[in-house]
A and B are shown apart, each in its own frame.
Chain A
Amino acid sequence: MATLVIAEHDNSSIKLDTAKTLACAQAIGAEVDLLVIGHQCASVVDSAKSLSGVRKVLVADNAVYSQHLADNIAELVVSLAGEYQHILAAASSQGKDFLPRVAALLDVAQVSEVVEVVSDDTFVRPIYAGSALATVKSLDAIKVMTVRVSAFDAVANDGSADVQTVDGVFGSKVEFISQTLTESERPDLGAASVVVSGGRALGSSENFVILEQLADKLGGAVGASRAAVDAGYVANDLQVGQTGKIVAPDLYIAVGISGAIQHLAGMKDAKVIVAINKDPEAPIFQVADYGLEADLFEAVPKLIELL
Chain B
Amino acid sequence: MKVLVPVKRVVDANVKVRVNADNTNVDTANLKMAINPFCEIAVEEAVRLQEAGIATEVVVVTIGPKAAQEQLRTAMALGADRGIHIETDEVLAPLSIAKLLNAVQAQEQAQLILLGKQSIDGDNNQTGQMLAALSGLPQATFASEVKVEGDCVMVTREIDGGLQGLKLPLPAIITTDLRLNEPRYAKLPNIMKAKRKPLDTVTVESLGVTLKQHQEVVSVAAPAARAAGVMVASVEELVEKLKNEAKVI
Contacts and interface: CB of A to CB of B under 8 A. Distances in A.
Interface string A49-74: 00000000000000000010111001
A250 interface: yes
Given A134-B217, A175-B167, A127 B141 contact: no
11 contacts: A101-B129, A109-B214, A132-B17, A138-B214, A173-B169, A177-B154, A194-B248, A273-B226, A274-B238, A274-B242, A291-B230
A230 interface: yes
Interface string B123-156: 1111111111110011111101000000000100
Interface of B: 11, 13-14, 16-19, 26, 93-95, 98, 117-118, 120-134, 137-142, 144, 154, 157-169, 177-179, 213-223, 226-227, 229-232, 234-236, 238-239, 241-242, 246, 248-249
* Closest A-B pairs by Cβ, 4 of them: A109-B214, A100-B129, A104-B130, A104-B133
Given A112-B126, A128-B17, A243-B118, A139 B216 contact: yes
A285 interface: yes
Nearest to A219: B249
A104 B98 contact: yes
A102 B119 CA distance: 20
Interface in A260-307: 261-262, 268, 271-274, 285, 287-294, 299, 302-303, 306-307
Interface string A167-191: 0000011111111111000000010
Interface string A85-107: 00000001110111111111101
Nearest to B135: A104
A139 B57 CA distance: 40
Contacts of A107: 95
A298 to B, nearest CB: 8
Nearest to B18: A131
Contacts of A140: 214-215
B228 to A, nearest CB: 8
B168 to A, nearest CB: 5
Given A93-B158, A96-B141, A128-B123, A176 B133 contact: no
Contacts of A139: 213-216
A137 B216 CA distance: 5
Interface stretch (A37-45, A152-160, A234-242): A234-242
Given A134-B217, A138-B214, A97 B124 contact: no
Contacts of A100: 94, 124-130, 133
A111 B94 CA distance: 10
A292 B130 contact: no
Contact of B120 (A128, A177, A293): A128
Contact of A122 (B117, B134, B218, B227): B218
Would you call the interface of chain A mostly helix, strand, loop, or mixed? mixed
Contacts of B16: 131, 261
A112 B242 contact: no
B158 A129 contact: no
Contact of A97 (B129, B131, B217, B239): B129
Contacts of A96: 125, 129, 141-142
Contacts of B214: 108-109, 138-140
Given A135-B221, A251-B242, A287-B229, 8 more contacts: A100-B133, A109-B215, A139-B215, A218-B249, A237-B160, A290-B242, A291-B229, A292-B231
A275 B54 CA distance: 47
